[in-house]
Amino acid sequence: MTTPRTGRTFRIAAIPADGVGKEVVAAGRAVLDALAKGSGGAFAFAWEEFPWGCGHYAATGRMMDEDGLERLKAFDAIYFGAVGWPTVPDHVSLWGLRLAICQGFDQWANVRPVHFLPGVRSPLRAADDHDLNWVVVRENSEGEYAGLGGRNLSARGPGGEVAVQSSLFTEVGCERVIRFAFDLARTRARRKVSSVTKSNAQQHGMVLWDEVFRRVAGDYPDVETESVLVDAMSAKFVLRPQDLSVVVASNLHADILSDLGSALAGSLGLAASANLNPERRYPSMFEPVHGSAPDIAGRGLANPVGAVGSAALMLDHLGLPDEAARLHRAIAATTAAGVLTPDVGGSAGTEEVTAALIGALDG
Ligand SMILES: NC(=O)c1ccc[n+]([C@@H]2O[C@H](COP(=O)([O-])OP(=O)(O)OC[C@H]3O[C@@H](n4cnc5c(N)ncnc54)[C@H](O)[C@@H]3O)[C@@H](O)[C@H]2O)c1
């Protein structure tokens, strides 16, 4: 058992949103409440659930209430499911909820660990949970998802419209996330940061990123570095993943690379993520990497490991590192025991895996 550290009640806003988001957030809440119950009063969670998402959009015309950010400000953290459903265009649902929160709360660092778990067979046949383990740090406030641009000239008639989608790279934005990656590398067994760009083809913003990376690296002589183009890095994820520790990349590149990483580990359903406002001026948000999975939603098949791994990242952020480690151990014990959802080759449902996770908390 761990020593009680806080005696605090954490106020958490739950936003399950759409599809399997509802199922995995329920699973994550059950695991966290079991953990709190076993803490002997050391800490507790006070949940408030918000019904925002595509259903809310159908009823109100908005993905979240107009004063949503104002109401969320009061919470210690946000526990998020997944947003998106075939009834609403994806760019409307994503911008109306998840990106509105990330940008509104300046959650500029998105931390996405890739965990290889015992009992889950990776497509990298030789891989196991001992030698592979890296973390993707995604710039989460600008880059390709800055939302700059527009559509025009539709008056020219069919085929005549144009669209401009600009990327935004600021020196401040690059520096803060690159520094964050170096600080994170110093906490890991292998002190190495791999910077990813496509600066050969994108000669403005990504060259600025490369220059800032080289300058910041000078402040961390104890940390190994490399700069790799995104296409080469995608090959490296498959061919030499043992050479990775912290991978820092722009919003779009890290989004794609982290899905590749979690697929290599076995499934998108395993991947956790933290959207951090490191200065703590706003609440940070913790969510599985996957989407709302309409193909399996409502059938009790969703893998809750990504959502529970995200809960562990939330515990770390709340100052409960021992409890976070307990959740990681419970996840490993559950997968090692072969209690797995179908996406990773098992036959257990969400509830069975959740019960096994809760049962493994004492271990
Ligand atoms: N962070 C987010 O909220 C987020 C992220 C990605 C996609 N989306 C949205 O989700 C919707 C569906 O997108 P998509 O199909 O491209 O991606 P998806 O992540 O929902 O699904 C991709 C594949 O992974 C599987 N999968 C996902 N989560 C799983 C889980 N917990 N357990 C088992 N299998 C799981 C799905 O069954 C599907 O085969 C879209 O509306 C999209 O915009 C939201």
Distance 292 CA to ligand 1 centre (A): 5
CA–CA distances in Å: residue 4 to residues 8, 74, 113, 308, 357: 10, 25, 26, 21, 21
Dihedrals phi, psi of 233, to nearest 5 degrees: -65, -35
* Residues of the chain under the 70 pLDDT cut: 1-6, 126-130, 363
pLDDT score, position 82 = 97
The SS3 of residue 199 is: coil
pLDDT score, position 91 = 83
The Cα 290–Cα 293 span in angstroms is 8
Task: Name all domains of the chain by residue range, CATH numbers in brackets.
Answer: 1-116+268-363 (3.40.718.10), 122-265 (3.40.718.10)
Distance 211 CA to ligand 1 centre (A): 35
The Cα 209–Cα 181 span in angstroms is 13
The Cα 287–Cα 230 span in angstroms is 25
Answer yes or no: is the C-beta of 26 below 6 A from any ligand 1 atom.
no
pLDDT score, position 6 = 57
User: What is the number of the ligand 1 atom nearest to the C-alpha of 20?
Assistant: 31
**Which residue, judged by its Cα, is nearest atom 23 of ligand 1?**
293
Contact 174, 139 (CB under 8 A): yes
Distance 100 CA to ligand 1 centre (A): 19
pLDDT score, position 332 = 95
Give, for 260, the enclosing helix (H) or strand (E): helix 251-265
Answer yes or no: is the C-beta of 91 below 6 A from any ligand 1 atom.
no
The model's pTM is 0.87
**Which residue, judged by its Cα, is nearest atom 42 of ligand 1?**
84
Q: Facing residues of 150 across strands?
A: 164
Answer yes or no: is the C-beta of 24 below 6 A from any ligand 1 atom.
yes
pLDDT score, position 126 = 67
pLDDT score, position 2 = 42
pLDDT score, position 1 = 35
pLDDT score, position 124 = 74
Answer yes or no: is the C-beta of 318 below 6 A from any ligand 1 atom.
no
Q: Mutate which of 273, 289, 292 to test ligand 1's pocket (most atoms within 8 Å of Cβ)?
A: 292
pLDDT score, position 4 = 44
pLDDT score, position 129 = 67
**Which residue, judged by its Cα, is nearest atom 35 of ligand 1?**
269
Answer yes or no: is the C-beta of 323 below 6 A from any ligand 1 atom.
no
